[in-house]
Amino acid sequence: MLTRGIKLSAVSNYFQRNRPPSVVQGPTQADVTNALKPLFAYFDDNFAIMKQTLTDSAMIMVMTRLWKEVLVTIESLLVPPLSDKLSQQRPLTQQELDIVFKWLQMLFDFFHAVDEDTGVANGVPIDILKSPKYHELQNLNFFYFEPTENLIRTSEGMAAAAALRQQEQQARASRLSAPGSLAGPQFGGVAGLLGLPSTRRSKSIMLSRNLGTMKKAKEEKRKEAQADPNDDIILRILRMRPEAERYLKDRSRQKERLAAAAAAEMIVRQSLQAGGGRMASNLPRR
């Protein structure tokens, strides 16, 4: 199987070996394309073996997993991992960045595998290729050479928006947990006392939704994940900017406070729900 035959570290090492040094002379398009030819040949050999031993759906699943590893490898060439400390990794030049994103497009086309004669894609579907990680890389390309002050302002704005969303979600969850805490196995909650359909009945209705509706909901959730603003990519760029050292530490502490507040809120809510469930179960039976 491909996952057994391919060592992902080898893929990473390949990118590192072919990373242009200072590229003063400027590589041609042929140079950029030829740099990936050994990698494509390696993929072709393994994919040919898979085609003989796997079903089409299983092959797409393995290719999808490999595509995720490719995105992570490319990302590691561009930025260091998330941390509150400065990194020794140097930022790429504009020319190097352009080369990496040309590689990304070539790999995207390779994994999509469109037949030149029929125009039919035989590889990984576009909606899977354009995953949240893929969109993060596009955002990274957009922010990569922004001045540090602009990046910090953008990060602060995203952090404020994230904190506001978290507060709204906590308030909404608190409101929803109140009627749920009155729900007991004998009455079906407040709805049961009022003669309305019980929670069990509601769940049955939800489970009876057709597959088309579920697929649509899943697609909307995926799009929401892609559109959700996140400043992690910006923070990873800032790790290569010495002047951003203080902001990285401040932002890290802020994230820790938000995570602690969210965890505390969850514990309180679960405690209230558990207490409400015990109270309801102790009500006298009719």
Mean pLDDT of 172-186: 55
The gap from C-alpha 156 to its chain's centroid, in whole angstroms, comes to 21
Which H or E run contains 40?
helix 37-53
Contacts by 175-180 with C-beta closer than 8 Å and gap 24+? Answer: 177/269, 177/272, 177/273, 180/273, 180/276
pLDDT of the residue at 203: 44
Q: Please tell me the number of Cα atoms within 13 Å of 28 on its side-chain side.
A: 3
Residue 276 reports pLDDT greater than 50: yes
Give pLDDT tens digits for 236-270: 999 999 999 999 999 988 888 877 877 887 788 78
What residues have CB less than 8 Å from 135, skipping those under 6 apart?
226
Question: In a 3-state reduction of DSSP, which class is residue 114?
Answer: strand
DSSP character for 19? S
Q: Which of 4-8, 80-84, 163-167, 270-274 has the lowest mean pLDDT?
A: 4-8
Task: Return d(Cα 95, Cα 110) in angstroms, integer.
Answer: 23
Residue 9 reports pLDDT greater than 90: no
Instruction: Write the DSSP string, 50-112.
Output: HHHHS-HHHHHHHHHHHHHHHHHHHHHHHSPPS-SS--SPPPPPHHHHHHHHHHHHHHHHHHH
The gap from C-alpha 266 to its chain's centroid, in whole angstroms, comes to 23
Instruction: Write the DSSP string, 216-233.
Output: HHHHHHHHHHHHS---HH
Closest-CA residue to 64 (of 132, 128, 5): 128
Question: In a 3-state reduction of DSSP, which class is residue 90?
Answer: coil
**Joined tokens for residue 16:** 């590192």
Confidence of residue 111 (pLDDT cuts 50, 70, 90): very high
pLDDT of the residue at 179: 53
pLDDT of the residue at 189: 39
Give pLDDT tens digits for 17-43: 555 554 457 789 899 999 999 999 999
Question: Which residue reads 């002047």 in tokens?
Answer: 243
Residue 71 reports pLDDT greater than 60: yes
- Second CATH level (architecture) for the domain 2-145: Up-down Bundle (1.20)
Residue 72 reports pLDDT greater than 60: yes
Mean pLDDT of 94-112: 96
Task: Return d(Cα 230, Cα 225) in angstroms, integer.
Answer: 10
Domain-by-domain residue ranges, the chain? 2-145, 150-281
Give pLDDT tens digits for 115-165: 888 888 889 999 999 999 999 999 999 999 999 999 999 999 988 887 787
pLDDT of the residue at 194: 35
What residues have CB less than 8 Å from 26, skipping those under 6 apart?
95
**Joined tokens for residue 113:** 């595998």
Confidence of residue 89 (pLDDT cuts 50, 70, 90): very high
Give pLDDT tens digits for 181-235: 444 444 343 334 333 344 444 444 454 455 566 556 555 554 544 445 578 999 9
State whether the Cα torsion 31-32-33-35 is positive or negative: positive
Mean pLDDT of 164-190: 59
